[in-house]
Structure 1
């Protein structure tokens, strides 16, 4: 199955800005690898929470639309809140 997620570039980076994003129901993320510059992004929590329940979300290529460009990625790591079940951060790797 193919998944497409709309994302925005993050201009503020750091612990404080990530906390502000989480309070606004956004998920901070980063795309890295393949000798390319890392891209810091953010997207709505509701966009990712339901599709991440499928097993193929972790093993198949995803498409992230960043500023009108499609980027093929794979999930590298995901951090969740200890007991709330919320996603706190996702690392993607260029596919």
Structure 2
């Protein structure tokens, strides 16, 4: 994906506010051996790009002054309640250095599993992304998790996922091996018969004789 930015010379809170008022978003590029560069980007184009999954997990071609460089989106700040991007950070990448990224998980074929089709299991997604390490050229846009063979009461862990060539789990994920998804039978709430029983006992049975009236007092002499 291509991103067009412009180098900016003025910095500071006031300058950033004026920049946002003019429809631009301040940002920065850092990493590698080159110095950090402060930039500005068109806000509307950036806002729509942030809504795309690939923008968050792909190598981006960032063009400044007609020269492109490979970068990753590392961070961005949104306004607390307005649809406004306040600031964005990009990191330069080198073709020979491994990068750490959180890659989205795409869960597939759940409806084909016996657990769902025949046993009525519910698939619970515990994690929606996975932290991996790879060279920039091997970076996948997403990682597929095939649920066709998942069984009731079983889980799929990080180490169970088939990773693309050149991709590995980062060390702490490899050691912790967290659960990504599981299949379980939903708990059905039984009818509350205990509350209904006393009410049924209190009502007279059908056809039962009504209680006799109390004896009348004898007439006084």
Same fold judged by TM-score > 0.5? yes
Which stretches in structure 1 are left out of the alignment for 5+ residues? Answer: none
Q: Distance in 2 between matches of 1:63 and 1:47?
A: 15
Which stretches in structure 2 are left out of the alignment for 5+ residues? Answer: 94-221
Structure 1 residues 4-50: Cα deviation after superposition (integer angstroms, max 9, x where no partner): 11111110011111111000010000000112200111011011111
Alignment counterpart, residue 32 of structure 1, candidates 25, 30, 33: 30
Counterpart in 2 of 1:6? 4
Structure 1 residues 28-81: Cα deviation after superposition (integer angstroms, max 9, x where no partner): 000001122001110110111111101121111111110010011101110000
Correspondence list, 1:73-84, <5 A:
73-84=71-82
Counterpart in 1 of 2:68? 70
SS across alignment from 1:48: helix
Q: Distance in 1 between matches of 2:89 and 2:56?
A: 11
Report how many aligned residue pairs link the two structures: 93
SS across alignment from 2:50: helix
Greater fraction of residues in strand: 1
Q: Distance in 2 between matches of 1:5 and 1:57?
A: 10
**Higher RCO, 1 vs 2 (CA within 8 Å, ≥6 residues apart):** 1
Q: CA RMSD in A?
A: 0.9
Counterpart in 2 of 1:20? 18
Q: Distance in 2 between matches of 1:11 and 1:17?
A: 10
Q: Please identify runs of 4+ aligned residues in structure 1 that moved more than 6 A.
A: none
TM-score w.r.t. length of structure 2: 0.41
SS across alignment from 1:37: coil
> If you compute each CA radius of gyration, which structure gives the higher value, 1 or 2?
2
TM-score w.r.t. length of structure 1: 0.93
